[in-house]
Structure 1
Amino acid sequence: MEDRKLTVRAVERALDILMCFTKATDLGLTEISSQIGLHKSTVHRLMATLEEKGFVIRDAATEKYRLGLRIWELSAHLSHSDDPAVLLLPQMEQLRDRLGETVSLYLLDGMERLRIQAVQSKQAIRRVAPVGARLPLYVGASSKVLVAFADPGILQAVLSSPDWPASVDKEDYVRQMEEIRSKGYATSYEEREPGAAAVSAPIFNHAGQAAAALSVSGPVSRLSPQTLIEFGPILVQAAREMGMMMN
């Protein structure tokens, strides 16, 4: 029984290490050790195993690690019918070409939203949206959409979170949830990031559940509050069509 516990702990630590690469491309032992709270010697042993199996590659010159080809082999075998990041990509590209701004796809993951796909704007000045980014649920158009159309328990959990910022009024946030459910989409104007604006709509699956949030974002110089309102119905329709494609 003790051996089994140790094995599970080792797997958890190895997965924690791999998750560090969602925030950076190249990492050294010290950086990884600091992020996951393990001694460098322990991290070194785990990295040696991951390297042997092809999940990471070590650069001898810099002594830093990056993800290995084995990761890409796994991702290549994702089921297109089950993975919205793959399934909805062509429609996201069409929406980007129509509106001219960056299009992102988010999932609710615990008390965060996770960007699982992004199609960058082709304009010189654009909003760059890195895939794999995790963002809080109390600000941002996509966050508000995911909370507004989720189980009511999610809203209560967000409101009672110790991470809730004092600068965000809870009563106003609850009012926004009601308005979003009524309109079918959410907007944000420099809420999370200065100079950035976004509009988002829920993607419902066949069971009528909000499975994801579709978002269009860009600089406030192009996305004025009025433009966000004009984009809202377009995004709702695009999200409805995408929802029909999901299982």
Structure 2
Amino acid sequence: MPETKSKRSGETQIRSVGKALTIINYLAESPGEMPLVKIASKLGMAKSTVHGLLSTLKDFGYIEQSPFTGNYKLGIRLFELGSIVANSFDVRTIAAPYIQQLVDKIEETVHLVTLDKGEVLYIDKRESHQSLRIVSQIGMRLPAHCTGVGKALLAYLPPEELKYLIKTKGLPRYTQNTITDPEKLEEELRRVRERGYAVDVEEIMESLCCIAAPVFDHTGKAVAAISVSGPTARLEGERFDMIVTMVMQTAKEISAGLGCRNTPGVGR
């Protein structure tokens, strides 16, 4: 007899598979082990149906049953699969088509960086076709406190880690706009969290402007940042506002590709 199917959101859904996944989701959100009777009651399913599904899931390692209480919990196989998925999230590979799309649309240089040993490490760069371009390269390192990408990442560090980096790295001046006071930097990072993006206006180099946004992984951690960089004169007024919107949207899309379901909102 063929498996019964139902229509949901315009797609064919296998009911037994849907019920099994519902059970897994319920156990994932429940504290500790759960008895069969409670699972069936909470999900509105017959005990015989739930028992059959649990037995099948247990055979495949997705569910474990306590030999003492007979109650159920998630199995080790789900942890193994989660680790496989997490390890497959390579930020550079996932970000590549998004940052290329961004540079194609706005015709300015786009960077992808990570924070390494208190500095920003450039792991990808997409060049614009403008005659006046940014001199940078993959593998280059720059200080974090005076770059847009750096501030986008520093803003989401634990306070203790941020203070340690400031103490060990210092806040050297590169231009007259460089923030060299720890309290002013912390205030700037608070604004970054509030609005969701960071800006470097001639803080690392004269006539250079950078608009950046953080990229979050499946745990909600800021693991990278993307930026649009160009001459200050080209990143002003309405164009500045447009680029801010596009950078934030691109960062959000990359974060989703890394498994981030709920990007940390503004106001943190």
- TM-score band by shorter chain is 0.5 to 0.7
Equivalent in 98, 101, 115 of residue 105 of structure 2: 98
Equivalent in 169, 178, 198 of residue 190 of structure 2: 178
Q: What residue number does 1:84 align with?
A: 91
The TM-score normalised by the length of structure 1 is 0.63
Instruction: Answer yes or no: is the 8 Å Cα contact 1:200–1:235 preserved in 2.
Output: yes
Instruction: Answer yes or no: is the 8 Å Cα contact 2:216–2:255 preserved in 1.
Output: yes
The TM-score normalised by the length of structure 2 is 0.59
Superposed structure 1 runs of 4+ greater than 3 Å apart: 225-230
Structure 1 gaps, min length 5: 1-79
Q: Secondary structure at the match of 1:88?
A: helix
Q: What residue number does 1:57 align with?
A: none
Whole-angstrom CA distance in 2 between matches of 1:239 and 1:162: 27
Equivalent in 209, 219, 222 of residue 210 of structure 1: 222
Whole-angstrom CA distance in 2 between matches of 1:187 and 1:227: 14
Q: 1:225 Cα deviation (Å)?
A: 6.4
Q: Secondary structure at the match of 2:160?
A: helix
Q: 1:231 Cα deviation (Å)?
A: 1.8
Q: Secondary structure at the match of 1:135?
A: strand
Within-5 A mapping of 1:128-147 = 128-147=135-154
Whole-angstrom CA distance in 2 between matches of 1:107 and 1:228: 24
Q: Secondary structure at the match of 1:244?
A: helix
- Residue by residue over 1:173-198, the C-alpha shift from the partner in whole angstroms, topping out at 9 and shown as x without a partner, is 11101100000000111100112110
Q: What residue number does 1:161 align with?
A: 168
Q: Secondary structure at the match of 2:135?
A: coil
RMSD, aligned CA: 2.1
Please tell me whether residue 152 in structure 1 is matched to residue 159 in structure 2: yes
Whole-angstrom CA distance in 1 between matches of 2:244 and 2:166: 26
Within-5 A mapping of 1:9-158 = 81-158=88-165
Q: What residue number does 1:189 align with?
A: 201
- Residue by residue over 1:14-71, the C-alpha shift from the partner in whole angstroms, topping out at 9 and shown as x without a partner, is xxxxxxxxxxxxxxxxxxxxxxxxxxxxxxxxxxxxxxxxxxxxxxxxxxxxxxxxxx
Whole-angstrom CA distance in 1 between matches of 2:116 and 2:169: 17
- Choose 1 or 2 for highest CA Rg: 2
Instruction: Answer yes or no: is the 8 Å Cα contact 1:103–1:120 preserved in 2.
Output: yes
Instruction: Answer yes or no: is the 8 Å Cα contact 1:198–1:217 preserved in 2.
Output: yes
Instruction: Answer yes or no: is the 8 Å Cα contact 2:118–2:169 preserved in 1.
Output: no
Instruction: Answer yes or no: is the 8 Å Cα contact 2:102–2:110 preserved in 1.
Output: yes
Q: What residue number does 1:243 align with?
A: 255
State the identity as a percent. 33
Whole-angstrom CA distance in 1 between matches of 2:182 and 2:155: 14
Instruction: Answer yes or no: is the 8 Å Cα contact 1:81–1:87 preserved in 2.
Output: no
More displaced, 161-170 or 94-103? 161-170
Instruction: Answer yes or no: is the 8 Å Cα contact 2:120–2:141 preserved in 1.
Output: yes
